[in-house]
Amino acid sequence: MREFDDGRPTVNRRRFVQGATAAGITAAAGCLGGGGSGSDRAPMDVEEWPPEDLESNLNMWNWYDSWADWAIDAFGDEFDVQVSNTGFSSPDQWYSQLEADNSEIDNVAATTNWVERSIENDYLHELPVDVMPNWENISDRIKEASSFQQDGSVYAVPEALVLYPLTYNDEYFDEAPGSWGVLWDDEHEGDLCMWDNATVSCQIAAMYTGQDPIQPDDFDEIQEVLVQQKPLLQTYWGDYQQGMSLFVNEDVVAGPLTMGRTYSARFQEGAPVHYTAPDEGAMYTSDLFVIPKGSPNPMASLQFTNWASETENAAKLFETMGYQPAVDISDELSEEDAEFTNWPDDWNLVFSETLSDEVRSRYDEIWTAVKAA
């Protein structure tokens, strides 16, 4: 998932640009003695907090780019660690490095289904959460919303919950639309948008037609309604900035958009937008901090993972990105922000479980057919 800014961080004393210079990073890791096999130390070696003898570097891959820019200096200054960040647009960019025997990446902000794949293939270090003081800050709701704990072992620390709601213009609508059916309503023809994403759009269509978005039973119906919807749309948006701009410029009145981008549109761009979970449900997932095997700086990465779960540092994630942190930050929020982040208990939220190969393949086939129709 999700947020990626093409802008690059400014080089200063503690940061250096990664990503476009992978070879340079390899060289930096080599200078630290990381080598092709990473450090000999492992997070589970830590039996008391804090970990001793932090390495002097940290190479993280975090797609909450604005928060990462802030964290580079904040964590670096506090622990005297030189931090770099590589933004990414697709998880397979870091996952392919894990498949190729990682020796560069220390810390990843990873989406749940990619964490599951990484655990299954033994790419991640187990984490000693029992000795990490800020583990208790993670809310139970988020701890339960993932499968990062398996067979008594914990392989990740949640960073944020990510909701895929229905976003709408709250000056156009008298009240929040109660159904995804608003995206099939002729009354709004030309003022609607959909996400150019096979899984997201097919899952919305599945919920609209009363099916399970994880295991649908009528793929033909999903394709049929998406084709029917197409003439009503102004466009399919392809990246988050484009999607947000459609609402900021008031080109559309309803469509899917992440909660974070909706927050940015409303509070940073002044757009008249809000979000809701329709009666049929809305999908959500979680992003989590993981430490890949082969990490050249596992102790610095472990300290960073704990540091990021301090309440004030988690609150900075919401302030910069608009996403729901894994930590309860209610005491840090204004009344307006607290109202915006409140997810009513009666919302039907569907956790975005990993799709089977069959469902993923059928969704891709449907989306190709819809786009070509």
pLDDT given for residue 23 in this prediction? 33
CB-based contacts of 338, cutoff 8 Å, min separation 6: 330
pLDDT in tens, 214-248: 999 999 999 999 999 999 999 999 988 999 999 99
Q: Evaluate if residue 11 carries a pLDDT over 90.
A: no
Strand, helix or coil for residue 47:
coil
- Average pLDDT over the chain reads 88
Q: Evaluate if residue 160 carries a pLDDT over 60.
A: yes
pLDDT given for residue 193 in this prediction? 98
- Domains of the chain by start residue, with CATH: 43-162+285-341 (3.40.190.10), 166-276+349-372 (3.40.190.10)
Does 211 or 39 have the greater pLDDT score? 211
Q: Evaluate if residue 33 carries a pLDDT over 70.
A: no
pTM of the entire structure? Answer: 0.79
Query: 171-180, 215-224, 226-235, 326-335 — which is least confidently predicted?
Result: 326-335
pLDDT in tens, 276-315: 999 999 999 889 999 999 999 999 999 999 999 999 999 9
CB-based contacts of 126, cutoff 8 Å, min separation 6: 43, 44, 153, 154, 155
Q: Evaluate if residue 175 carries a pLDDT over 80.
A: yes
Q: Where are the beta strands (DSSP E) in the chain?
A: 57-61, 82-85, 107-111, 149-150, 153-154, 157-164, 166-169, 192-195, 233-237, 254-256, 273-276, 282-290, 324-325, 349-351
Q: Evaluate if residue 13 carries a pLDDT over 60.
A: no
pLDDT level of residue 37 (50, 70, 90 thresholds): low
Percent over 70 (pLDDT), the chain: 90
Q: Say how many C-beta atoms besides its own lie within 10 A of residue 151's C-beta.
A: 5
Q: Evaluate if residue 4 carries a pLDDT over 70.
A: no
pLDDT level of residue 87 (50, 70, 90 thresholds): confident
Q: Evaluate if residue 324 carries a pLDDT over 90.
A: no
Cα separation, 37 vs 29, whole angstroms = 11
